[in-house]
Amino acid sequence: MAAAAVARAVLFSAARRRLCGFTERLLIGGAAGRSLYFGGNRLRSTQAAAQVVLNVPETRVTCLANGLRVASEDSGLATCTVGLWIDAGSRYENEKNNGTAHFLEHMAFKGTKKRSQLDLELEIENMGAHLNAYTSREQTVYYAKAFSKDLPRAVEILADIIQNSTLGEAEIERERGVILREMQEVETNLQEVVFDYLHATAYQNTALGRTILGPTENIKSINRKDLVDYITTHYKGPRIVLAAAGGVSHDELLELAKFHFGESLSTHKGEIPALPPCKFTGSEIRVRDDKMPLAHLAVAVEAVGWAHPDTICLMVANTLIGNWDRSFGGGMNLSSKLAQLTCHGNLCHSFQSFNTSYTDTGLWGIYMVCEPATVADMLHVVQKEWMRLCTSVTESEVARAKNLLKTNMLLQLDGSTPICEDIGRQMLCYNRRIPIPELEARIDAVNSEIIREVCTKYIYDKSPAVAAVGPIEQLPDFNQICSNMRWLHD
């Protein structure tokens, strides 16, 4: 049972990993670093008052001598989530070692110098805890959910698995088969397939264009040296955040961090490895298969990184487009104008807008599932709606989208695990956690004029990336799609 539980956690991490990229995350643009203080105590008292009104616990941050950051929020719960957020994902790989970060995530649960795999699984099960990990294109995460009283053991286990994993040859060989099966599962999920194709064409010949799992030939050839090299290069103090939420004492967490990480995670010798540049290319990938019942299509333009000031506006624009599924029902009173048109014209089975951001770039677009005969009509309506965002979106629509975005933002921070994830990600991106009142103020500052201006900047007359799979004979050619990014007539 114990082995099955941990194995399931590892296997499910792939689907969860991609959903993290696909879903609207709560990192909001702005310069990384400490907040500025004007007028001394007056602004501090205003911030304190806002926290009292909202009853939001403070996020405390401390940096160790080796650069590792410790960040926590104590909400006094009986349970907690604690994890390590590491600034290292598939983007730091090259063509030859693509897949190493994900392979390493799998190996974390296969035993350490202190614990065998069975010992690790039994200890976690006996605590009533959960241990999990996932890899994205820019981050690797290891985290545990446990009773608050078990925080010291949870931190010790996390420290053990990232610093003392045995990476045994037998376990490496066994895990190859697990990852190859995971790849087969991924290939049956057409949404994931389309998004991998979208990245491959949008960021062709760059690190973001490669998949997280890596190609089959790499999985078959990755060896212990590759895994050790990746750890010694990237798992360094300045690139790691120990984040915790729930019933967590920051002082206790800080002492645990000093004890388990203070001496072991050295800083980089020389400069931190530079983030590989990834250039966006307007282009397409089509995989036509007329035997498939439905066409799966993603269209995206280049957006911005998390810290860019236009991120908030693009998030509001993303909410304006919205999402819809046939199971929702509805009609002319749906909040999304595109959903109204889609529902009324029976143009697709579902669509979902997305705003996926990375450090210095991003993809803003839409994913849709259509009948073969309605692909062209659906794309026409989508691009027409995009043009409307650039030219004539109304103030009332923007106000409704802002309210929906704020609601979704707060609803996602429900429980210690999503809060811990929010802390970890924001610390890596900004070196601080942006307070909720600040997020809401930035959203409130957006109006219809700003939306039109920002959407014109990133959408109008821009060459998109297109990925399409299935019966796509009716999909317009790429030149036609590009010309429709300028203006559309009925």
38 vs 81: CA distance, rounded Å: 35
Task: Characterize the bridge pairing of strands 350-357 and 323-325.
Answer: antiparallel
Cα distance between the two ends of the chain: 60
Q: Nearest CA to 137 among 244, 25, 30, 299?
A: 25
28 vs 442: CA distance, rounded Å: 9
Catalytic residue list: 105
If you search the block for the tokens 């700003």, which residue do you land on?
450
172: amino acid identity, one letter = I
202 vs 212: CA distance, rounded Å: 15
CB-CB contact of 83 with 77 (8 Å): no
CB-CB contact of 482 with 464 (8 Å): yes
Q: Which residues contact 271 (CB under 8 A, 6 or more apart)?
A: none
126 vs 150: CA distance, rounded Å: 11
Tokens of 189: 């999920």
Which value, in Å, is the radius of gyration of the alpha carbons in the chain?
23
Q: Nearest CA to 235 among 112, 127, 86, 373?
A: 86
CB-CB contact of 44 with 30 (8 Å): no
If one counts every other C-beta atom within 10 angstroms of the C-beta of residue 232, the result is: 10
Alpha helices in 189-280 (DSSP H): 190-202, 216-221, 224-234, 250-261
If you search the block for the tokens 């696909």, which residue do you land on?
22
For 284, phi and psi rounded to 5 degrees? -145, 155
Q: Which residues contact 339 (CB under 8 A, 6 or more apart)?
A: 322, 323, 324, 328, 330, 351
DSSP code string of 285-326: EEEE-TTSSSEEEEEEEEE--TTSTTHHHHHHHHHHH-EEEG
CB-CB contact of 423 with 72 (8 Å): yes
